[in-house]
Amino acid sequence: MADRDPQPPRAALSRERVLRAAVELADRGGIDSLTMRQLGERLGAGAMSIYHHVPGKEALLDGMVDIVFGEIDVPPASADWRDALRRRAISTRAALRRHPWAIGLMESRAQPGPANLRQHNAVLACLREAGFSVPDAVHAYSVQDAYIYGFALGDRSLFETSAQAARAGEAMVERFRHLAAELPYSYEVVGGYVARGGYDPDAEFEFGLDLILDALGRILEPASAPRRRRPGARRAGA
């Protein structure tokens, strides 16, 4: 009787392997479906073995979120603040589209990981080195993240592409055609704009992002503008 082909050795269990497997499971089924038992089955290990690498569910989530932060572009110290933050915002949205389960967890970790800490420090450094005061840097950071995470939440429930938006718009036109007279402006947008491919999620995101960056830039204008003598003020020695 011929010997069976030897099975390839199973990769050793490690914290990194546990976290990557957990991210893959959450990407497929959502965070609520992720259990230690399910994770153990995917890794071919008992649930108790996983606890040697992550002590509990919260530690698991901390590590998973840090993987997502590690996929986001870190603003370079020497870059123009506006360009750096624009790239970072687009990169954050892209990461959250890959991992939609992470949207509500990104800023809620009591034990943030190294990628999380580096990202936050780099954004603050970008703002402070550009000339934003500490309070204004906090305002700028908060308004950007509120917009990014809010838009990402919409991505999860709305349309990922303009083609999807157009198909949905066409279906809505047929369903609500009888309401055109009652809801003329809504019908105009859905039937005359969305259904014809006018809604592009990427373009809409970048439009709003540029509005925010333009407004933040105006915070810096008074500090960078030359001081002007008040009308009617006398020069020294006059």
**114-130 and 81-98 helices cross at what angle (nearest 10)?**
150
pLDDT tens digits, residue range 180-222? 778 888 777 777 777 666 678 889 999 999 999 999 999 988 6
What are the chain's domains? 56-159+199-220 (1.10.357.10), 162-194 (no CATH)
The whole-number pLDDT of residue 47 equals: 72
User: Which regions in the chain score pLDDT beneath 70?
Assistant: 1-11, 157-173, 195-198, 222-238
The whole-number pLDDT of residue 12 equals: 80
Largest CA distance in the chain: 112
The whole-number pLDDT of residue 235 equals: 47
The whole-number pLDDT of residue 44 equals: 86
Give the predicted TM-score (pTM) of the model.
0.79
The residue among 195, 157, 189 whose CA lies nearest residue 174 is 195
The whole-number pLDDT of residue 20 equals: 95
Say how far apart CA 211 and CA 232 lie, in whole Å: 37
Say how far apart CA 62 and CA 99 lie, in whole Å: 14
Q: Are 125 and 77 in contact (CB under 8 A)?
A: yes
